[in-house]
């Protein structure tokens, strides 16, 4: 008997529906075809054990499983459940097998028949709704994630017996109901950290506020213990909240990567990813035999923090240059080409030299001549050019650390100003699809939006000549000055806005190490 069920496989961040055909006929042996990988081929062993353990019988005749279309590689263990159900239906152990065509079924089986979580439940659910399936059956741990998709009945199962009972009596399972908006707004502003924890460093807080307001990349350079990491980790607390569409896009990436916690639904806070400096090229940008999103994609709509930037391998840093500009990364293989979104804010920190005390107000640098420039050379000029704000972090004095006399602004106050600046930019770019913040301006938009007065032009020209800045740095200064003007509520870029933007390029290569 031939029976068809439907599953799904994920490529990039999108899902493709797979037809699972099982034919039980005269003969001997089990086989699975349709370009399966090793984990899919092992499915028949798990399926057989789960079926026998729960007092069903595995056909002792010929069983052929075909995963169509046959020219697409199938990976992972999530095809266990649709294969098991199809085998039971083909051997007439499931009532009403004709109902199978209305559902996409996905899940990994344990040997005792329990159903384990899968990756990519959200994009699978989106594709199921797009193709007008009546319902989706997933592991219980993934039901809330998939249940965010409206107009689709999502059922969570924890054991194969529940699924068999469901096809005998549909009322045995209830579709999950997820209030997407309630989940989205819940704990959206609940952070463990706050900017008022940081004493002093008002100029650094100002720089990070500008970075947040315009989605600019930033690098913090200073001695050990100056607070670079502490400040960077608090950046998400002043970023505007995710929109619902941004939350769905972010959740889809984390779902595909298997980074969502069990029984979770939407990612409602901007991601903050901080990979160790030993990270590989592939782990950072994504890839592998079955390409998976890397750290830059997991930071989509959030922050990628690279602590101690010069300690990262140069090859790792260089592969980021294109994604920073294009806000996406393309992974090419012989048989496929996948695109992962990578619209992130890059925030990096580094010591000024190997010993860490170059330009320190109290301690002497012990590095030999030329060592400071050599240390900075570990980070390429083209990468530094792509970082909008270069900020020097100095140590905090005792008086500033004295909490009884100094009160710092909290994150909510700063975030309010950032949201207002972003609202101005949303209005400005409403007719420019794909551009949402000043940092994303194209060269054409830059010429139209960042118009300088004659005084401003003279100021910028002098700065370009004195600091020996590149053309890309010129663009960055204009973008940052536009953000500073937005924070001030100014329609035009004034000389004082430009002057503040120029000071954030003071750590460029020509002026930093002499």
For position 83, what pLDDT does the model report? 95
Q: Tokens 């909240």 sit at which residue?
A: 241
Q: Tokens 């990612």 sit at which residue?
A: 267
Sign of the four-CA dihedral 235, 241, 242, 243: negative
Sign of the four-CA dihedral 219, 224, 226, 231: positive
Q: pTM (2 decimals)?
A: 0.88
CA-CA distance, 449 to 439, in Å (whole number)?
A: 12
For position 11, what pLDDT does the model report? 87
pLDDT < 70: residue spans in the chain = 334, 397-406, 506-514
Q: Which two tokens stand for residue 126?
A: 């989106």
pLDDT per position as a tens digit, 135-178: 999 999 999 999 999 899 999 999 999 999 999 888 889 999 88
Sign of the four-CA dihedral 387, 392, 398, 399: negative
Separation in Å, CA 73 to CA 9, 106, 150: 9, 17, 29
For position 511, what pLDDT does the model report? 46
- SS3 of 372, please? helix
Q: Which two tokens stand for residue 273?
A: 């990813």
CA-CA distance, 371 to 377, in Å (whole number)?
A: 10
For position 403, what pLDDT does the model report? 59
Q: In 28-90, which ranges are E strands? A: 30-33, 62-68
pLDDT per position as a tens digit, 393-416: 888 766 666 655 557 789 999 999
- Shortest CA distance to 145 belongs to which of 260, 250, 241? 260
For position 400, what pLDDT does the model report? 65
Strand partners, 304: 273, 346
For position 398, what pLDDT does the model report? 61
Concatenated DSSP letters of 263-291? T-----S--EE---TT--HHHHHEETTTT
CA-CA distance, 301 to 319, in Å (whole number)?
A: 19
Residue pair 286/296 in contact by the 8 Å Cβ criterion? yes
Residue pair 7/82 in contact by the 8 Å Cβ criterion? yes
- SS3 of 142, please? helix
Separation in Å, CA 288 to CA 15, 89, 282, 322, 358: 18, 36, 7, 19, 41
Burial class (CB in 10 A: 0-12, 13-18, 19+), 387: buried
Helix ranges restricted to H, 387-453: 398-401, 411-428, 443-449
CA-CA distance, 441 to 443, in Å (whole number)?
A: 7
Residue pair 133/163 in contact by the 8 Å Cβ criterion? no
Q: Which two tokens stand for residue 347?
A: 């925030």
Provide the 8-state DSSP code for 159.
B
């Amino acid at each position: 008997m031939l029976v068809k069920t439907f599953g799904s496989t994920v490529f990039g961040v999108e899902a493709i529906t797979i037809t699972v055909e099982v034919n039980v006929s005269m003969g001997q042996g089990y086989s699975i075809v349709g370009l399966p990988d090793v984990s899919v081929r092992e499915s028949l062993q798990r399926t057989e054990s789960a079926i026998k353990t729960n007092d069903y019988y595995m056909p002792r005749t010929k069983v052929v499983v075909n995963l169509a279309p046959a020219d697409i590689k199938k990976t992972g263990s999530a095809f266990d459940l649709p294969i098991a159900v199809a085998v039971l239906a083909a051997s007439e152990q499931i009532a009403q097998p004709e109902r199978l065509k209305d559902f996409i079924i996905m899940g990994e089986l344990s040997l005792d028949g329990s159903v384990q979580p899968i990756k990519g439940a959200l994009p699978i659910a989106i594709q199921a709704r797009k193709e007008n399936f009546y319902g989706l059956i997933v592991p219980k741990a993934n039901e809330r994630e998939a249940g965010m998709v409206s107009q689709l009945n999502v059922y969570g199962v924890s054991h194969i017996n529940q699924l068999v009972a469901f096809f005998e009596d549909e009322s045995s399972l209830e579709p999950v109901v997820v209030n997407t908006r309630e989940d989205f707004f819940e704990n959206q502003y609940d952070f463990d950290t706050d900017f008022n924890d940081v004493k002093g460093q008002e100029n650094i807080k100002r720089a990070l506020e500008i970075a947040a307001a315009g989605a600019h990349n930033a690098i913090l350079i200073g001695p050990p213990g100056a607070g670079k990491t502490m400040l960077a980790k608090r950046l998400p607390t002043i970023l505007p909240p995710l929109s619902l569409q941004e939350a769905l896009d972010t959740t889809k990436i984390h779902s595909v990567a298997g980074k969502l916690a069990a029984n979770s639904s939407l990612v409602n806070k901007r991601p903050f990813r901080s990979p160790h400096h030993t990270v590989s090229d592939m782990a950072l940008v994504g890839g592998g035999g079955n390409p998976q999103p890397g750290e830059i994609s997991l930071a989509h709509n959030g922050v990628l923090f690279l602590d101690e930037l010069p300690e990262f391998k140069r090859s790792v840093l260089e592969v980021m240059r294109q994604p920073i500009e294009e806000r996406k990364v393309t992974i090419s293989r012989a048989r496929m080409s996948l695109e992962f979104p990578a619209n992130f804010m890059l925030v990096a920190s580094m010591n000024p030299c190997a010993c860490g005390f170059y330009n320190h107000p109290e301690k002497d640098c012990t590095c030999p001549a030329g060592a400071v420039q050599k240390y900075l050379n570990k980070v390429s000029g083209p990468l530094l050019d792509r970082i909008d704000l270069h900020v020097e972090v100095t140590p905090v004095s005792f008086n500033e650390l004295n909490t009884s006399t100094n009160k710092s602004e909290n994150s909510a106050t700063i975030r309010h100003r950032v949201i207002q600046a972003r609202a101005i930019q949303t209005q400005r770019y409403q007719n420019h699809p794909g551009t949402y913040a000043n940092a994303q301006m194209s060269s054409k938009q830059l010429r139209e939006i960042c118009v300088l007065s004659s005084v401003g032009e003279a100021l910028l020209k002098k700065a370009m000549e004195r600091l020996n800045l590149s053309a890309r740095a010129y663009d960055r200064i204009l973008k940052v000055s536009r953000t500073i003007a937005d924070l001030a509520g100014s329609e035009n870029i004034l000389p004082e806005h430009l002057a503040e933007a120029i000071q954030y390029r003071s750590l460029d290569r020509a002026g930093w190490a002499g």
